[in-house]
Structures are given as structure tokens and as C-alpha cells.
Amino acid sequence: MVTISLKKLLNKKDVLSLIKEMSAVMETPILIQDTQGRLLFGEENQKELGHYPVKLADDIIGWISGGEKAASLASLLSYIANKEIQEKMLARETLDKYKEINMLYNISGRLTACLDLKQVANLIIDEATRLIKATSGSLMLLNPDTSEFELVAAIGQEYDPKAPLALGRGIAGNLILTGKAEIINNVQADIRFVEGRNQIYSLICAPLQTKDGIIGVINISHQEPINYTAADLKLLTALASQAASAIENAMLHEQKLKEERIKSNLERYVSAKVVEAILEEKDDFSFEPAKRDIAILFSDIRNFTTKCEELPPELIVEYLNEYFTHMVDVIFSNGGTVNKFVGDMIVAMFGAPSRLVYSEQGAIKTAIEMQKRIKAIPVPWIRQNFITGIGISSGEVIVGNVGSPQHMDYTAIGDKVNIASRLQSIAKGEQILVCRSVYDVTYNLFDFKEVGTVQVKGKKKPVDVFEVIY
């Protein structure tokens, strides 16, 4: 707070000269004392006729003793003191403004160049505690899913460890609701305060406000009883405004990187179009294992082992890559997902990870196109020797990431998967076999020939099998 000393005021040459001249003109001896009775002007042995206050606003900063005319001098000195304080306040305000502008100028460049969330948060806390006296500081973001604060950056020991704060809990939790920055210069007396391991006395808390709402808070605190001022609050509020934009940018950047990583991984399994659909359905998509109704397609080249003996391994690999390229293109174009390649076998899913309304229809359409595409591959040897059998089943399975922490595969597990595999194993070259669950929802869309009830390997009950005619 800006204040003024009567002694320092009288030490000013022009003020002292004016008092002396006025005293001489009024022909009245005067005595000036501060509030503690210490002599500042005149002689103590002077006869006192009156006692008049020198006031700074409503506060008395000294006394003038003398004749009746001394009252005028007291008024004059009060006017000079109030004028002086106004000039000091203006100077302080100008200095605060300069500090604020200088701070914003210095930090804005560094924040613009930083897109890492933790680095941005640390930069903000460092700058805040450099400008404002503090022993602790923290930047917390509100998790919209849990309504709890997550500590992003901190200095000091106040926040280690402390009961988790949430929306409406603690000073920060309440500040989120009001949206107003606060100074609390006696934290212990505030009923909202949640006590931690280390004692704090004074606190400034400012919200991180973006165009979409408040995303978190900045806290600056001191363990000693200091008085934070309105100027401190203004500085932290200005800093919080800069921080909110920088943090929002950093979070968007992190989200973008995460989506790029997901996209990069997904594009190995599904088409780019399906990847976009998955990213747009963020809430509906998860790699966690979950039950899902899907169609499963197994395709395998007949007598592939024998064919491998006819060509050098390098050429077999080259032909396989050509074949897989065409088959994956067909699967992707029909909304399917490549589950895996096992040797020459292809396993594809329809309905996971992206949901597909007509998964059985998509699987059969894919199987037919795969058989026809092989005949169009511009490599005669492939057209003549890659003769495939395809099996399709459908129903509820578990889909998601399965494996060890070192290696995970997005795959499907369940009896329906085993049935598709068995149908593929009994399918002859160029044949497409499906089970009843696939037939029942597609019999009016495709032509079928009933194969009959087949006892497939590994199944106690026989399976109704149908051949797709194309």
C-alpha cells in the first residue's frame, strides 16, 4: 500500500520553505509533531494555543500546534500530503502497468514457441513466482470427466502430497465456480481451505479462462504472513490469461499428436476412410477388449506349401505382397479390418473396431470381390496358382487389444472366430462357405447353395453350412 511520512514531506525544501514563510506572514509560532509526538518543526518551549491535525484522507499523520492561524497551515499541509500521495499512487500504477506489459511481452514469445503442456505450465509457474513473492506455486487443470484437479506443475512443498481437490472443494474448487481471482491473506481463517502438510498463510488464486470455459487454476502462496496486493492479483490474472491460451494450444497439440499416432496405427488395419470415422467416434471407440457382434472372414491359398516349392522364396514373398495388396484393398473398400496375416492366410473383421451395420453383407461382398480380384491380378503365375478358399461366420465375440505388455494385437476371440476358421479349412479352391448366422441375414441378397450339416473340427455340434454362388 502506498503511504507517506510527514517527516519526509517536511524535509522537502519547497514544503519546508513554504511552512516557514506562512508562519512568518501569519506572525504565529508553530510546532509540528508526528503522531508519536516527535518534534518535526518549531521549538518545544513555544506556548501552545491550539492543536490541529494534519490528515491524509481520513488518517491523521501529524499535528500542528500554535495560534488560531495554525489551523490554516494544518489544512495546507494536509492538502500537500494528499497531493503527494496521489502522485505516488499514479507513479506506482504506472510502474505496475509497465511490469505487467513487460511480463506479457517477455513471456508471450516463450509461450508461443512451446507446445509441451508441462513445459508451458512450468514456465508459467516460474514466471509467476519470479514476479510475485511466494514460497509455493502450482498450476492445476480440471479433468472434465472426473471433476477433479490434476497437478501439472508446482514449486515448493505445499502440494506434496495433499488431498485431491475437486470442483466445489477447496479454495481452487470454489474459484472455478465463481470464475473470479482472489487474494486470501489469512488462508487458515478461510473455511474453504483444505489443509496440506505444509502451512501457508497468504494465497492468490486465479482461474485459467478460455473461450470455452475455465480449464484450471494457478495458485501462488507464501508460508509467512505477507499481504498480497491488488497489483499482485492483477499481475497473476494477466499471467493466467496468457497461460490459458498457451495451455489450450498445448492440449490441442497433444490431442493432435495422439490422433496422429492412433491414425498411423489404425491405417495398418483399416482404410483411411474408416480411420477418420473411428476418430470422429472417439467416445465409441476403444482398444479395450469388449463384446461386439461382427462378421469374421478367413481366406487361405490352397496347397500353398506345395506352390512354394516351385519358386525361390524371394519371388514367393514378392507374389504374396502383390496378392496381399489387392486383397487388403478389397477388404478396406468394403469397410473391413485386416486382423492379421498368418503365412498366406488373411483374417478380416467386419464391425470392429468401427461399427458396421451390415457386417455379414460386407463380408460376403468382400469374399466375392477377393475371388474375382485374384483373376485380375496382372501376374499370370498368381492368377493360375493362388486359388483360395474362404470361410465366413458371424456373431458375438470379444474384440480388442490382446497380448502381453511388450506386444499387443487388435484381434477377435470367440467361438465364431473358430467356426470361420474351420469353414475356411474345408472350403475348396474358389469356394466361399458361410454358417447359418450369415446365411439367415443375407439369403435374399446373394445366391446360396446349401451344403448341409457339417461336423467341423473342434465343434461338438454340427454346423449348418452354405456356399455362396457368385
Calculate mean pLDDT across residues 280-288. 63
Helix H, strand E, coil C: the string for 304-360 is HHHHHCCCCHHHHHHHHHHHHHHHHHHHHHCCCEEEEEECCEEEEEECCCCCCCCHH
Q: Which CATH architecture has domain 282-469?
A: 2-Layer Sandwich (3.30)
The predicted pLDDT at position 271 comes to 64
The predicted pLDDT at position 290 comes to 85
User: What confidence category does residue 270 fall into, taking pLDDT thresholds of 50, 70 and 90?
Assistant: low
User: What confidence category does residue 274 fall into, taking pLDDT thresholds of 50, 70 and 90?
Assistant: low
pLDDT (tens digit, 9 = 90+) per residue, 373-395?
A: 999 999 999 999 999 999 999 99
Instruction: Reply yes or no on whether the pLDDT at 272 is more than 80.
Output: no
The predicted pLDDT at position 169 comes to 81
Question: Where do you find CATH 3.30.70.1230 in the chain?
Answer: 282-469
User: What confidence category does residue 45 fall into, taking pLDDT thresholds of 50, 70 and 90?
Assistant: low
Instruction: Reply yes or no on whether the pLDDT at 366 is more than 70.
Output: yes
What are the CB-based long-range contacts (under 8 Å, 24+) for 405-412?
A: 408/287, 409/340, 410/269, 410/287, 410/337, 410/339, 410/353, 411/339, 411/340, 412/294, 412/296, 412/339, 412/349, 412/352
CA-wise closest residue to 347 among 399, 412, 407: 412
Torsion of CA 56, 59, 63, 69, to 10 degrees: 60
Hey, what's the cell of 358?
451390415
Q: CA-CA distance, 47 to 419, in Å (whole number)?
A: 119
Q: Is the peptide bond before 312 cis (omega within 30 degrees of 0)?
A: no
Mean pLDDT of the chain: 86
Question: What pairs with residue 435 in β-bridges?
Answer: 465
Name residues whose C-beta falls within 8 Å of residue 322's C-beta, 6 or more positions apart in sequence. 377, 379, 382
Q: Is the peptide bond before 161 cis (omega within 30 degrees of 0)?
A: yes
Question: What pairs with residue 407 in β-bridges?
Answer: 404
Instruction: Reply yes or no on whether the pLDDT at 282 is more than 60.
Output: no
Strand order in the sheet with 39-41: 39-41, 30-34, 59-66, 51-56
Amino acid occupying residue 104: L
More confident residue, 404 or 349: 349
Question: Where do you find CATH 3.30.450.40 in the chain?
Answer: 117-256
Amino acid occupying residue 148: E
CA-wise closest residue to 352 among 405, 396, 304: 396
Decide if 213 contacts 244 (C-beta within 8 A): no
The predicted pLDDT at position 285 comes to 61
pLDDT (tens digit, 9 = 90+) per residue, 127-140?
A: 888 888 999 898 99
More confident residue, 368 or 343: 368
Decide if 297 contacts 392 (C-beta within 8 A): yes
pTM over 0.95: no
Hey, what's the cell of 47?
506556548
Q: Is 271 left (phi over 0), alpha (psi -120 to 50) or beta?
A: beta
Q: CA-CA distance, 451 to 392, in Å (whole number)?
A: 14
Calculate mean pLDDT across residues 20-42. 85
Count CB atoms within 10 A of the CB of residue 117.
Answer: 19
Question: Mean pLDDT lowest for which of 90-94, 344-348, 444-448?
Answer: 90-94
Calculate mean pLDDT across residues 43-65. 81
Local structure of 430: helix, strand or coil: coil
Q: What are phi and psi of 19, to 5 degrees?
A: -65, -45
pLDDT (tens digit, 9 = 90+) per residue, 73-124?
A: 889 899 999 988 888 888 887 887 777 777 777 777 777 777 888 888 998 8
Within a 13 Å sphere around the CA of 170, how many CA atoms are in the beta-carbon half? 20
Instruction: Reply yes or no on whether the pLDDT at 26 is more than 70.
Output: yes
The separation between CA 134 and the C-alpha centre of its own chain, rounded to angstroms, equals 27
pLDDT (tens digit, 9 = 90+) per residue, 301-313?
A: 998 888 888 888 8
CA dihedral for 376, 380, 384, 390, sign (positive or negative): negative
Question: Mean pLDDT lowest for which of 227-231, 244-248, 353-357, 362-366?
Answer: 353-357
Q: CA-CA distance, 298 to 422, in Å (whole number)?
A: 9
Amino acid occupying residue 387: I
Q: CA-CA distance, 32 to 23, in Å (whole number)?
A: 12
More confident residue, 111 or 459: 111
The predicted pLDDT at position 450 comes to 93
pLDDT (tens digit, 9 = 90+) per residue, 143-177?
A: 888 888 888 888 886 555 555 677 778 888 888 88
Hey, what's the cell of 48?
501552545
The predicted pLDDT at position 408 comes to 73
Angle of helix 359-374 relative to helix 313-333, nearest 10 degrees, comes to 140
Q: CA-CA distance, 277 to 274, in Å (whole number)?
A: 5
Strand order in the sheet with 202-210: 148-155, 136-143, 213-222, 202-210, 182-184
Q: What CATH superfamily classification does 117-256 receive?
A: GAF domain (3.30.450.40)
